Amino acid sequence: MKTLRSIDLNCDLGEAMTPEQVDLEARLMAYVTSVNIACGVHAGDAMVMRRTVQLARQHDLAIGAHPGLPDRGMRGRREQPLSGDIVRELILSQVGELMAICQGEGVRLTHVKPHGALYNMAARDRRLADAIAATLGQIDQSLILVGLAGSELLTAGDAQGLAIAAEGFADRAYQADGRLVPRNQEGAVLHDESTVVSRAYSLIHDGTITAIDSTSLQLRIDTLCLHSDTPGALRLAHALRTMCDDGRIPVVRLDHAV
């Protein structure tokens, strides 16, 4: 069997609210190569950020900032009217805080992946995408910008001269235009193990995935996301890592994948 191109496996962390969720996040780190850490706005706080950075360092994972909207009640997943200036301040404050924590722990912040509604809005709105990319360029031009494959966010990052990473999702359904199915719609989140593994393999191996209306999408990805709050996340993470290992798919940190 031939060796396939490498892939990064990432997970959004630093969002746990209970001891059980904290334990789950820690255990997920054994299966992924990159983490995106909530920056204290949509979830988490400075203590959680530092603890998550420390655990990620122990596992030698690429560490990214996961800035979101100030809406803890909806976990940053409700869209809001945003100006470029507001986006700039959200990115500056959140990425800056996590970067300072990383520096204090002796590790480097490698990437930034907007969270939730901010991610989805920037995927289709070039104005917001440009604000995010320009702000990251101001903070550190070496930061990798992670965005939905084929999105305006990646186009903006490329125009800014940033390294970009196209992201795919094993546990989310896609619309025919390549965007994610909104979480409030039936079938938006997938948790059947065989379905998730099959779709992940197709994305990594062939660059294809089937949309919710049966449209076949072409999506070349650099990193594959598994959400820590998807039902059965630990079981799915184990299955995805096993699929990669058995299929001789090299699994590497994000900063080695792009």
Q: Say how far residue 204 (Cα) sits from the centre of its chain.
A: 16
pLDDT digits (tens, 9 = 90+) for 90-135: 999 999 999 999 999 999 999 999 999 999 999 999 999 999 999 9
Q: Is residue 2 part of a domain?
A: no
Tokens at residue 132, please?
């995010």
Tokens 């001891």: give the residue. 19
**Phi and psi dihedrals of 104, rounded to 5?**
-65, -25
Residues in a beta bridge with 79: none
* β-bridge pairing 62-66 and 34-38: parallel
Residue type present at position 222? D
User: Measured between alpha carbons, how far is 143 from 186 in angstroms, rounded to an integer?
Assistant: 35
Q: Is residue 32 part of a domain?
A: yes
Domain count, the chain: 1
User: How many residues make up the chain in this entry?
Assistant: 258
Q: Is residue 1 part of a domain?
A: no
Tokens 């990115």: give the residue. 91
The pLDDT, as a whole number, for residue 11 is 97
Closest CA to 135 of 72, 127, 167: 127
- Domain with 86, as residue range(s), is 8-257
Q: 214-238 b/e with 16+ CB inside 10 Å = b?
A: eeebebebbbbbbbbebeebbebbb
CATH number of the domain that residue 149 is part of? 3.20.20.370
Q: Is residue 3 part of a domain?
A: no
Closest CA to 53 of 131, 107, 118, 121: 107
pLDDT tens for each residue of the chain, 258 residues long:
344 579 999 999 999 889 999 999 999 999 999 999 999 999 999 999 999 999 999 999 999 999 999 999 889 899 999 999 999 999 999 999 999 999 999 999 999 999 999 999 999 999 999 999 999 999 999 999 999 999 999 999 999 999 999 999 989 999 999 999 999 899 999 989 999 999 999 999 999 999 999 999 999 999 999 888 888 999 999 999 999 999 899 999 999 888
- pTM score: 0.95
